[in-house]
Amino acid sequence: MVAKDLSSAFTAGFALGFSLILAIGAQNAFVLRQGLKRQFVFAICLTCAVSDAMLIIAGVAGFEWLTTVLPGVVGVVKWAGALFLFGYGALSLRSAYVGGEKLQASGGAQSFSTALLTCLALTWLNPHVYLDTMMLIGSISVQYEAKTTFAFGAALSSFVFFFALGYGARLLAPVFAQPMAWRVLDGLICLVMWSIAISLLTH
């Protein structure tokens, strides 16, 4: 039973983390472009993954403390998180409908410091990162006794995603050069966000 609980918490954390990070954003687009240009790919992927892991751990650990101090915060965050996910999904659905976006490896060579600072800015100055990692993942983690395992699964998903994205960019380039590919992905992201929102409200 303990092994099953650990496996369930890990799988849930990994799936949630991967679904949230899959959403198209400036950070992911930057990692893709760095992968396409083959510039500082390892350092950029590691920076994004470690940053996410730090925020996830802080969210899971901090949210548990917050619920002890303010027990009613769980209900508030649950509804706020669901509304955020429904809104996020709606924006993705709009992007899927409007279309027009495509991946381009624009820009020339840049220094390592410039690339790293850009990566840090896109990660730590993005308010969605805090909502996703600290608030949403933190609020869902309270459903599991094995919170550490849940956090580990969510953090591991960031490492898997960013390194796959950075080093697999060359393979994805022909696909995401077409605007239709982005529209399909945005549509899938909408479905994932809405399904997570419904799941959050029903637990």
Q: Structurally, how many domains does the chain consist of?
A: 1
**Binning pLDDT at 50, 70 and 90, where does residue 202 land?**
confident
DSSP SS3 for 72: coil
Residue 119 CB contacts under 8 Å (≥ 6 apart), including other chains: 27, 30, 31, 44, 47, 48
Q: What is the pLDDT of residue 21?
A: 85
pTM over 0.75: no
Average pLDDT over residues 133-157: 86
Encoding tokens for residue 10?
């890990």
Closest of 13, 42, 53 to residue 116, by C-alpha: 42
Q: What is the pLDDT of residue 104?
A: 57
- Which range, 28-32, 80-84, 115-119, 170-174, is most confident? 115-119
**Binning pLDDT at 50, 70 and 90, where does residue 183 land?**
confident
**Binning pLDDT at 50, 70 and 90, where does residue 19 land?**
confident
Q: pLDDT tens for residues 48-72? A: 999 999 999 988 888 767 777 777 7
Question: In one letter, which amino acid is 38?
Answer: R
Which range among 37-41, 52-56, 171-175 shows the weakest confidence by mean pLDDT? 171-175
Q: What is the pLDDT of residue 52?
A: 92
Closest of 170, 145, 136 to residue 19, by C-alpha: 136
Closest of 103, 115, 93 to residue 183, by C-alpha: 93
Average pLDDT over residues 104-123: 78
Domain assignment of residue 83, given as a range: 2-202
Residues of the chain with pLDDT > 70, as a percent, come to: 88
Closest of 17, 22, 18, 4 to residue 144, by C-alpha: 4
Q: Can you give the three-state secondary structure of 36-56, one letter per residue? A: HHCCCHHHHHHHHHHHHHHHH
